[in-house]
Amino acid sequence: MVKGASGSGKTTVARELARRLSVPYVELDALCHGPDWAEASDEEFSARVEAATAGDGWVVDGNYERKIGDLVVERAGTIVWLDMPLRVDLARLWRRTTERIRDDIELWNGNRETWRNAVWTRDSLFAWTIRSHRKHRREWPERFRELERGGKRVVRLRSAEEAERWLAEQTPTGESER
C-alpha cells in the first residue's frame, strides 16, 4: 500500500512498484469516483476494494481511511508512506493539475480536473493537500509505529531520491502481498 498527500508521488511509485513486482496496480481514486465525480457509497467502495485486493499480490495507491477504515492496511504486508515536504507536494500538484487541465486528460469514468475544482472551491485540491499533509504528519507516525509492532513493514520515504533508491531494490520475493 502506497500512501501520502496529493502530489507526493503515490501513483508514480505504486505503478512502478506493481510493474517491478509483476502484480496488479489498484488506484483507489478510480474505484471511488464514478461519472460526474459521484463518490461510491462506503459499502460499495469497500466491496470494490475487497474485490481488487482479493488476490495474492497487488499494490494499492491511495488513502481513504474515512471510507474504508483499515481494509487495505490489514491486507497489506508493506505500507509505503511518501512523506515529501509540502513544497514538493504542492509543486508536483501544480504541474500535474496544469497538464491535466491543459491536455483535457480523463482521469476516471469520464472525470476531468478543472480550475474550479482544483483551485477555486472550499474543498479545492490544493487546500485538501495542505490539510491532509499536516494531518498525516501529526497522526501517521504513531499509527505506523502501532502497525510495525503488529508485524507490518512500514517504509517512510522523504524525498524523490529515497523513493527511487527504494524502488530500485524492489523485486519479486515470493511475499504474498505488498
Q: What is the pLDDT of residue 162?
A: 97
Q: For residue 27, what is the domain's CATH number?
A: 3.40.50.300
CA–CA gap between residue 148 and residue 144 (Å, rounded): 6
177: in domain = no
Residue 6's nearest CA partner among 138, 124, 144, 106 is 124
pLDDT in tens, the chain (178 residues): 999 999 999 999 999 999 999 999 999 999 999 999 999 999 999 999 999 999 889 999 999 999 999 999 999 999 999 999 999 999 999 999 999 999 999 999 999 999 888 888 777 889 989 999 999 999 999 999 999 999 999 999 999 999 999 999 998 864 444 4
Owning domain of residue 100: 2-168
Q: Is residue 178 part of a domain?
A: no
Q: How many domains does the chain have?
A: 1
pTM, whole model, 2 decimals? 0.90
Instruction: Map residue 98 onto helix, strand or coil.
Output: helix
